[in-house]
Amino acid sequence: MAEQNNTSEQANKEKSGIPENVVYVGKKPAMSYVLAVVTQFNNGAKNVKIKARGNTISRAVDVAEISRNRFLQDVHVENIAINSEELQNEDGTKSKVSTIEIVLSR
Amino acid sequence: MAEQNNTSEQANKEKSGIPENVVYVGKKPAMSYVLAVVTQFNNGAKNVKIKARGNTISRAVDVAEISRNRFLQDVHVENIAINSEELQNEDGTKSKVSTIEIVLSR
């Protein structure tokens, strides 16, 4: 599950040319994403974007807070933006989902 | 459950003298809190704070987005802050919980 997810995230990155310093928060435990954030900072990133939508928004906030309080004391919250996206359901109807983007900076 | 929640929210407000233009998001459907936000703006509030912690953070973002996109087109997101609070569990241990505060302004 973790590996499958990982692969599809990487495929996504390659397809859309998303820069590497974005962490998409999904349904895995928060610590998986904290590890991704910490790794990117340790690899020299000056800032990391944590993105999530729908129910995983709470987890994205946990990821930001755990990263900054427990592992990266020199990192601060640079910006937080919320927005809405329209999703097409399987039956063709559309529904709106909230999104969040938290930028952490060193 | 919903009523119990309500009562404790009101007790909190009275205890700490919190100003009226704060909406605490709990486990009720998002529209209950949207109604509270819209009512406060209609009563003349210049800004309303939407607060939540833990799993209800996602719902707080929904409340802000629905309020501003569907009901209050002249209102914008003034500020978003995230933080951590320490909670004492029933067995005496402590655990951290993330919080969010979204300020909407007219």
Mean pLDDT of B79-93: 90
**Statement: the pTM of the whole predicted model exceeds 0.90:** no
A59-81 residue pLDDT tens:
999 999 999 999 998 999 999 99
Q: Give the total number of structural domains in chain B.
A: 1
Smallest Cα distance from B25 to chain A, Å: 13
**CATH number (domain holding residue A13):** 3.30.110.20
Q: State the residue range of the domain holding A69.
A: 2-105
Cα-Cα end-to-end distance for chain B: 33
Q: Which residue has the tokens 């004391």?
A: A73
CA dihedral B72, B76, B81, B86 (to 10 degrees): -10
Q: Does A87 touch chain B (CB under 8 A)?
A: no
From its phi and psi, is residue B48 left (phi > 0), alpha (psi between -120 and 50) or beta? beta
Q: How far apart are CA B62 and CA B28, in angstroms?
A: 12
Three-state secondary structure call for residue A23:
strand
**Residue A4: pLDDT band by 50, 70, 90 thresholds?**
very low
Per-residue buried b or exposed e for A20-55, using 16+ beta carbons within 10 Å of the residue's own CB: ebbbbbeeeebebbbebbbebbeeebeebbbbbbbe
Q: Is the pLDDT of residue B80 over 80?
A: yes
More confident call, A64 vs A5: A64
Q: Does B94 touch chain A (CB under 8 A)?
A: no
Q: How far apart are CA A33 and CA A60, in angstroms?
A: 8
Given an 8 Å threshold on Cβ–Cβ distance, is A58 in contact with B62?
no
Q: What is the ipTM for the molecules in this complex?
A: 0.78
Mean pLDDT of chain A: 85
A9-33 residue pLDDT tens:
544 444 445 456 999 999 999 999 9
Mean pLDDT of A98-106: 96
Selecting from A56, A65, A82 the residue whose C-beta is nearest the C-beta of B98 gives A65
